[in-house]
Amino acid sequence: MERRLTLPIDEAQARELRVGDILYLTGEIFTARDEAHLTMLEAKEKGESLPFDPGAMALFHCGPVVRAAGDGWEVIAAGPTTSVRMEIFEDRFLDAFAPRIVIGKGGMGDRTQAGLEKVGSVYAHYTGGAGALAAGRIERVKDVHWLDELGMPEAAWIFAVKEFGPLLVTMDSAGGNLYRELEPKIAENLKTIAARIDAA
Amino acid sequence: MNSETVKSAIVEALRAASTVLPTDVVAALKAARSKETSELGAAQLDAILENVTIAREGSIPMCQDTGLQTFFVEAGVASPFLGQIRDSIAAAVVEATAAIPLRPNTVDPFTGANPGDNSGRFMPFINWEIVDGDEIRITVLPKGGGSENMSTVKMLPPGVGLKGIQKAVVEHIASCGGKPCPPTIVGVGIGGGADIALKLGKKAVLREIGSAHPNPQVAAFERELLELINATGVGPMGVGGETTSLAVHVEYAHRHPASLPLGILVQCWADRRARVVVAADGTATIVGTSEVIA
């Protein structure tokens, strides 16, 4: 079902979300790719506080194109990056910060699925390459962290968004997983295709 | 004609490629949308088409991964401007990075340093081909990392034959799932050596969607392979559906008797390309599949 959510949402709200739901988000989201994940996890381990509250925002796997404009920033294009690169630490990240919605493309693996179920969060797929569409739903850049250390694509950008979507929930906290549902169907199709090739 | 003319034309070609999806790709995406039976798959195609419109109307990059700027130059031996092309391309990429803007995407593998302007060792990469005539045709292919990461070469035993090639391609594309941002364009390079097969595959990607290979046997092979790939059900963005690939383009070279090299080049739906033709009289015009910008 289609859901228009205003962030932050709590664990109970996140646990109601199911695979197949289409989300449009209004509120604050932050970007984090490989380097920002590591930086934030290191801060947590050292007991340092973060300059923003990731639990109150959605996490967006994204390395945007951003341009300085006046005193602030203008987002040119900001589609999702391939999420599975973050598989090696996303479960720890969920444990540490509990963002209720993780946005990316291509899906994630078993460790993240377990993390979502434990913490009570969902993974939502955003159409890959839709960088211009996404930029149009970002109202403004509220802040940026670790820009000098990590560079434009890897920094943590805080975006104020309105009706950010469509986001398709593909992994939920109740064990729902669109990719796991599709795998056996595709495997079956591949057998049929191989037989077709042999028979030709 | 001066080098500034060529540089400016290349900057505009980069802008066209990054912001305006060629008409043949848009037509293929619309055709895929009209026959999509999966609700989730259809929603992905709707988002892609809306994104393409926003990018074109706003003259902004359609994807935040503006790619590695990869050039194919067909250099007419009788052109008086051969000596200027390399420098013009290099200068155009730097200028376009700031002007469009493009994401700085060149990273030194040893130091991690990013010069910030898409320049670097061997970058932008130029594939040269010497051809007859007095024209220079410069094609730019800004290629994203997500789809390039899914490209591969396989050295097949020749005994598996053409059927073995079909199976290998279908299995590979199915295993990619949503990662290369389907619906994709698949360039299949066959023969030559490992490097040649990959290069042929990348060159095949440049062909217009809907065009058939001039060899009828190869054209039939392309059609069959596309149908087989789309029978996997991977679908737009890997969420399931009718269209996993928009086109399969094959290019081939004769092979060694002991080798059957297979290069699989995966291009995302954002099949961005544009071409500049430098005529012998010094005029530089943007032509080809991005004529939609006119």
- Picking from A65, A166, A182, the nearest residue to B101 by CB comes out as A65
H helix and E strand count, chain B: 8, 9
Q: Which residue among A37, A61, A125, A145 is the active-site one? A: A37
Token pair 């934030």: residue: A40
Facing A153 at nearest CB: one of B47, B63, B103: B103
Q: What are the φ/ψ torsions at residue B241 (nearest 5 degrees)?
A: 155, -175
Amino acid at B249: H
Distance from CA of A11 to the nearest CA of B (A): 26
Alpha helix ranges (H) inside chain A: 11-16, 34-45, 87-97, 110-119, 131-136, 147-150, 178-199
CATH fold group of domain B3-21+62-144+272-293: Dihydrodipicolinate Reductase; domain 2 (3.30.360)
Taking an 8 Å cut-off on Cβ atoms, the answer to whether A129 and B63 are in contact is: yes
Q: Hey, where are the domains in chain B?
A: 3-21+62-144+272-293, 146-267
Strand A65-69 to strand A72-77: parallel, antiparallel, or no bridges (unpaired)? antiparallel
> Is B43 within 8 Å of A166 when comparing Cβ atoms?
yes
- For residue A149, give Cα distances in angstroms to A156, B71, B89, B164: 11, 32, 31, 48
Q: What's the gap in Å between the CA of B112 and the closest CA on chain A?
A: 11
pLDDT value of residue A1: 87
Which residues 186-245 in chain B show a CB within 8 A of chain A?
224, 228, 231-234, 237-240
Query: What is the C-alpha separation between B262 and B274, in angstroms, rounded?
Result: 27
In chain B, residues with a C-beta closer than 8 Å to the C-beta of A127 are 44, 47-48, 51, 237
Q: What is the DSSP secondary-structure string of B110-177? A: TT----SSS-BTTBS-EEEEEESSS-EEEEEEEE-HHHHTT-EEEEE-GGGHHHHHHHHHHHHHHHHT
Q: Whole-angstrom Cα distance, residue A196 to residue A146?
A: 54
Measured distance CA(B266)–CA(B216) in Å, rounded: 23
Partner A contacted by B268 (CB < 8 A)? yes
Q: Which tokens belong to A101? A: 């919605």
B167: nearest CB among A20, A62, A197: A197
B169 touches chain A (CB under 8 A): no
**Do A130 and B51 count as a contact with CB atoms less than 8 A apart?**
yes
Residue-wise pLDDT for A102-160, tens only, equals: 999 999 999 999 999 999 999 999 999 999 999 999 999 999 999 988 888 899 999 99
Q: Which of B159, B177, B118 is nearest to B258 (CA)?
A: B159
B232 chain-A contacts, CB cut-off 8 A: 186, 189-190, 193
Between CA B64 and CA B103 the distance in angstroms is 7
Q: What 8-state DSSP symbol labels residue B278?
A: E
Which tokens sit at B38?
Answer: 């999966």
Q: Which pLDDT does position B25 carry in this prediction?
A: 97
What does the angle CA B26 – CA B104 – CA A79 come to, to the nearest 5 degrees?
45
- pLDDT for residue B265: 98
Q: Name residues of chain B where pLDDT drops below 50.
A: 290-294
* Residues A157 and A1: beta-carbon distance below 8 Å: no
Q: Compute the nearest-CA separation of A130 from chain B (Å).
A: 5
Query: Do the chains contact at A186 and B233, CB–CB below 8 Å?
Result: yes
Lookup: tokens for B200:
């042929």
Least CA distance to B39: which residue of chain A?
A: A20
Residue B3 is predicted with a pLDDT of 74
**Minimum distance, in Å, between the CA of residue A48 and any CA atom of chain B:** 27
Instruction: Give the whole-angstrom CA distance, residue B213 versus residue B137.
Output: 20
Query: Amino acid identity, residue B279?
Result: A
The separation between CA A187 and the C-alpha centre of its own chain, rounded to angstroms, equals 27
How is residue A80 annotated by DSSP?
P
Show the domains of chain A with their CATH numbers.
2-199 (3.20.130.10)
Smallest CA-to-CA distance from A57 within A111, A108, A6, A128 is with A6
Task: Determine contact: B104 vs chain A, CB below 8 A.
Answer: yes
Confidence check: pLDDT of A69 > 70 = yes
pLDDT number for residue B294: 30
| 3-class secondary structure, B215 | coil
The first and second tokens of residue B61, run together, are 């990059």
Please report where in the chains the tokens 């994401």 appear, as a residue. B103
pLDDT for the residue numbered B2: 67
Write out chain A residues lying below 8 Å of B233, CB-based.
182, 185-186, 189
To the nearest whole angstrom, how far is the Cα of B162 from the nearest Cα of chain A?
10
Nearest to B273 by CA among B65, B44, B20: B20
The pTM assigned to this predicted structure is 0.93
Q: Cβ of B40 under 8 Å from any chain A Cβ? A: yes
- Say if CB A100 and CB A9 are below 8 A apart: yes
SS3 A188: helix
What's the number of CA atoms in the CB half-sphere (13 Å) around residue B244? 28
pLDDT value, residue B113? 85
Residue A126 buriedness (CB in 10 A; 0-12 / 13-18 / 19+): buried
Neighbours of B128 (CB within 10 A): 12
A145 is catalytic: no
Q: CA-nearest residue of chain A to B50?
A: A133
B50 and chain A in contact, CB less than 8 A: yes
Q: 3-state DSSP: chain A helix, strand, coil percent, rounded to 5?
A: 40, 30, 30
**A-B Cβ pairs (cutoff 8 Å, strict):** 152
Task: Count CA atoms closer than 13 A to B251's CA, side-chain side.
Answer: 19
What are the residue ranges of helices labelled H in chain B?
3-19, 23-35, 39-58, 85-99, 145-148, 161-176, 194-205, 216-230
Judge if ipTM > 0.95: no
Tens of pLDDT, residue by residue over B1-60, are: 567 899 999 999 999 999 999 999 999 999 999 999 999 999 999 999 999 999 999 999
**Tokens for B155?**
């050295």
Residue A152's pLDDT is what?
Answer: 85
Which residue out of B64, B171, B245, B266 would a mutagenesis test of the A interface target, given it has the greatest number of A Cβ atoms within 10 Å? B64
